[in-house]
Amino acid sequence: MKKAFLLVCVLTISVITTACINNFAVQELNNKAMTFMEQGNYEEAIERLKSSVDLDDSVFESHYNLAVAYTKAEDYANAMKSYQKAISLKPEFADSYYSLAVAEENLATDIKAGLLVIDDNGDLQKVEQRNDVDEMFGSDAILTDAEKIYINNLLNDAVKNYNLYLSKAANTEDADEVKTHITEIEARIAGEDKPKSEQSEPQKEPEAPAEE
């Protein structure tokens, strides 16, 4: 299999070679960022790549590599934004869709685990500790309806992007594994707790006829 499915751990997502970048300063920043990533220093890599994007916002490699750095730093929300920008610049590159789907899955997992919450403005916020999570027994957080909807949307988008990956990488060796994983996500979506607004009303038990 070309890539491994990991929902919490960071995947091994390769950076893109920068040899074809015409802007020398942008290429140098990408190369330095790649060195930092090899050393596991993702924060420094992110700073170099953000500077690269500031110099030239039209370079696909800078946005994709920035997304990879965010993924390895487990900042999946920002990784998603950078993958989406990379896709807008080079929509035919199949791995962008796979990597975006991975980030969406990981973000959904973090929210379910209580590592992130959705505030009153609908924004994601990182939390140090939630009282409704029992880490000893591995229980998930008690989710709000907004968080349940957010997770559901993330997983549906992940399915869409895995399918786009398959359509753009028709001969990929991991097609069967990806298809199996899509089925697993769809089963997970079906089994997720639904927000109250999407729950069906409980059926009333039929009443016995009144005795005459």
Q: What is the pLDDT of residues 167-203, one digit of tens each?
A: 999 888 989 999 999 999 999 899 875 555 554 444 4
Q: Whole-angstrom Cα distance, residue 60 to residue 89? A: 6
Q: How confident is the model at residue 20 (pLDDT cuts 50, 70, 90)?
A: low
Q: Whole-angstrom Cα distance, residue 96 to residue 85? A: 10
Instruction: Extract the tokens encoding 81.
Output: 């934004």
* Contact present, 155 and 188 (Cβ < 8 Å): yes
Q: Whole-angstrom Cα distance, residue 116 to residue 147? A: 9
Three-class secondary structure of residue 117 per DSSP: strand
Instruction: Extract the tokens encoding 43.
Output: 């924060």
**Arithmetic mean of pLDDT, 32-58:** 94
What pLDDT is stored for residue 13 in this prediction? 58
Q: What is the DSSP letter of 169?
A: S
Q: What percent of the chain has pLDDT over 90?
A: 57
The whole-model pTM stands at 0.80
* Contact present, 75 and 98 (Cβ < 8 Å): no
Instruction: Extract the tokens encoding 116.
Output: 């992130």
Q: Given the structure tokens 């059926």, which residue do they identify?
A: 203
What pLDDT is stored for residue 5 in this prediction? 42
Which residues lie below 8 Å from residue 18, measured CB to CB, with a gap of 6+?
Answer: 26, 27, 30, 31, 34, 61, 65
Tens digits of residue pLDDT in 160-169: 999 999 999 9
Q: What is the CA radius of gyration of the chain?
A: 21
Q: Whole-angstrom Cα distance, residue 117 to residue 113? A: 10
Q: How confident is the model at residue 43 (pLDDT cuts 50, 70, 90)?
A: very high
pLDDT at 28 exceeding the cut of 80: yes
Three-class secondary structure of residue 196 per DSSP: helix
Tens digits of residue pLDDT in 102-141: 999 999 999 998 899 988 888 888 886 555 554 443 456 7
Helices (H), the chain: 24-38, 42-55, 60-72, 76-89, 94-112, 145-168, 175-191
Most distant CA pair in the chain: distance in Å?
Answer: 94
